[in-house]
Every structure is written in C-alpha cells, then in structure tokens.
Amino acid sequence: MNGRQLNRLVGEKSDSNISRSVMIRTLIALTFGLSVSACTPNSPDVATPPSGGAAPSGTAPAASGTSSSLSGAGASFPAPLYQRWFQDYNKTNPGTQISYQSVGSGAGVEQFLAGTVDFGATDAPLKPEERAKFKAKYGAEPIQVPMTGGSVVFAYNLDGVKDLKLSRAAYCGIAGGKITKWNDPAIAKANPGAKLPDQTIQFIHRSDGSGTTYQFTTHLKAACGAGWTAGANKSVSWPVGTGAKGNEGVAAQIQQTPSSIGYVEYSYGKQANLAMAAIENKSGKLIAPSPESGAEAFVGEKVPADLALTVADSANPKAYPISGLTWLLLYPQSKDAAKQTALKGVIDWSLTTGKATATELGYVPLEAGLVTKVKEELNKVK
C-alpha cells in the first residue's frame, strides 16, 4: 500500500470429516498464534465484577494480579494483528503482557459489559442498548476506538477455477440462497471461459455472534435490495448454508469443503492461501480484495463523533465494497490506574510503530487524522 492511499483512509459430516476439520482448525489457529475459545479468558489477571452494590461512576471492575498483565476478548476479524501487536510490544516492553481471546464480537461485547476483561473488541460499533446497559452499570459512557480496517472477502474452494468474478446479482443470489449451482448463468456471465461445474454451491457462514457477519450483512442489506431479507446484525437467520465458528472456523471449513464459498476477513484468506473472488462494487466495477482497494472504501467518508464509522456500500469506483473498521472497547476509569496507563501505551504504539505490521498482514492502517482522534479519545481513559 502506498502512502497516498493510507493517508486517504479516514478513519457436521462423517467422523473422518470431523477429524479433518479439527485438524485444519488447529493448524490455522497455530498459524495465527491465537487462543481460540468460547470461554472467558483464563488469564490470572481477568477483571472481576464488584462483589456487591453499584459500581463507582465510570469505573471498571476491580482487578487482581500484576498491574501490567492485561486480558481482552472479542472479534476474530483483527485477532491475527492484535496477537502480533501484543507480542511485539511485549518484546520491547516486557513489563506489559496482554492476552487476547478470539471469541467473536458478540462474546467480546458481552464480556466487556460484564466486566470480565480489561478491554473488549468488536467489528460492529456498540448499539444504543449496549451503551445504555454499560452506562447503567458503570455510570459513564463506554469508550470505543478504531484500531485498523480490513475487508470481508468471498473465499472459495472450486477446483480448476481461478480468479472468480462475482456480479452483485451473483453474490447476492448465493448468500440469499437463490443461486445454488456453480454454473448458474449469473455466475457464468462474468466468468467467460471458466469451467464452472454443475455442482451445488456449499455456502459457509459464521455460527457465532460476529462483527464480520455484521459487516457482511450490512453490505448485503445495502447492495442486494429485495434479494437479501435476513437483515444486518452480528447474528442473522441464514437462508442457506453451513455454520462455523470464528473466521478461523469458516476458513477451515472452506479449505476442507469442495465447491464451497464463504466470507472471511481478508487476512484469514491470505494466511490460509484461499482463493478470493473479485466482486462488483456500487459503481459496477469488478474489484479484487486487497489492502489498497479496502482503503479506498473510506475515502471521503466523515468520521462521526463517537468514531463509529461504517461504510455499507462505498460509491468509490476504486473501492472493494465490503470493508470496515474494528474497535477496542475501553472502560473510562479503573481501580487499577497502572493497567489503564499500560493499555493506553499499547494502543498508542500499535497505531504508530505497529502500522507496518498491519500492512504486512493485509489490514488497513488508520490514517494520521484518525489516529489523532483516537489519541484524543484515549485522554478520557483514567
């Protein structure tokens, strides 16, 4: 990605198959260095809710253990990047250790609201009802800061087909269950000469509450019109397909399932060496996913005061259309000031020194103006 583009960014089958699925999931998790679990983080330094009574105004639950040991949980979308950031930061700041559990945005928000982590992570901005729940418990507004951007891609496993192209009619039809065969005319039209088989499309989607699903379905709602009726949320009632947990699980399921297609964050597709389709954007252009085309989706977009920028369907002809930001969720105040100081240091380092790592892994670093806004928001953390 060149500097100009960065600066323009604002902002279950047979037993054998089951065994193979487990093996693939394990390999992918090892590749990313992630700890994939649906449980509350097992760090010895997890924050714990007050034993009784109302929490002090704007104060996160008290924490035990060393003040420089932090635990977070949430979105799998940015998990490979967070893991690298936290490991690299620890190398130069050995007094600060950060554990991160890739449990999905839905679980991340729940744990943040419950006060069982030092920070949460989500690919979907907090809903009004979630903010109200936080304020009722802690007496202050939650803080959410964007950390990076990325794209949600259509990764596929189709023998003999490279450089798949999907028109809006095609990908809306696949996700909506209206297009069920790979040789459907809507797919064939954009892929002249491709040997599309007369096989059933196996659509893979998330089974857990997911910010990646939120970004994906927000786009489908905007782009597909009457062709998409399931709405936009972290969890939806899917018209078709098979579910898998986490971006890790979806990537593994696509890898092991012939004739499949599903949605994952770009870096997962890249790391798993999955084929990824070019898709039609709002301007009618077929755009392949990349950090550069993902960055284009944010060009000219105004960042709201709460930094909850979402772009459902960019009008930029150069933009890959399913792109979004991902946020950390922070408590405005903690009984452990040293932890808050350490967390702010990690965030500041990640957004500056860590930019090169974001680009390396296929994410979109925040441009300087948005980084400034994040630092201003961090001033509210005490």
Instruction: Please report, in tens digits, the pLDDT of each residue of the chain (382 residues total).
Output: 443 443 444 333 333 343 444 333 433 433 333 333 333 333 323 333 332 333 434 555 544 444 579 999 999 999 999 999 999 999 999 999 999 999 999 999 999 999 999 999 999 999 999 999 999 999 999 999 999 999 999 999 999 999 999 999 999 999 999 999 999 999 999 999 999 999 999 999 999 999 999 999 999 999 999 999 999 999 999 999 999 999 999 999 999 999 999 999 999 999 999 999 999 999 999 999 999 999 999 999 999 999 999 999 999 999 999 999 999 999 999 888 899 999 999 999 999 999 999 999 999 999 899 999 999 999 999 8
Count other Cβ atoms within 10 Å, centred on residue 257.
Answer: 20
363-382 burial code (b ≥16 CB/10 A, e <16): bbbbbeebbebbeebbeebe
Distance (Å, whole) CA 102 – CA 124: 15
DSSP 273: T
The dihedral built from the CA positions of residue 309, 310, 316 and 317, taken in this order, carries a sign that is positive
Q: What is the pLDDT of residue 334?
A: 85
Cα–Cα distance, 263 to 261 (Å, whole number): 7
CA nearest neighbour of 369 among 299, 291, 297, 266: 299
Say if CB 247 and CB 265 are below 8 A apart: yes
Give the predicted TM-score (pTM) of the model.
0.81
Q: Which two tokens stand for residue 269?
A: 């597709």
Contact 113, 137 (CB under 8 A): yes
Q: What is the pLDDT of residue 239?
A: 97
267: which 2 tokens?
Answer: 């870096």
Pair 41, 332: CB distance under 8 Å: no
The first and second tokens of residue 274, run together, are: 């999955």
Question: In this structure, how many other beta carbons lie within 10 angstroms of the beta carbon of residue 14?
Answer: 8
Q: Three-class SS of residue 266? A: helix
β-bridge mates for residue 154, sequence order: 263
Q: Are 339 and 63 in contact (CB under 8 A)?
A: yes
Angle at 49 between CA 47 and CA 55, to 5 degrees: 120
Q: Which of 99, 169, 81 is closest to 350 using CA atoms?
A: 81
What whole-number distance in Å separates Cα of residue 292 and Cα of residue 150? 10
Query: Is residue 227 within 8 Å of 172, Cβ to Cβ?
Result: yes
The token pair that represents 278 in the structure block: 């070019």
- With tokens 């596929």, the residue in question is 156
SS3 category, 301: coil
Amino acid residing at 68? S
Half-sphere exposure of 232 (CA within 13 A, CB side): 17
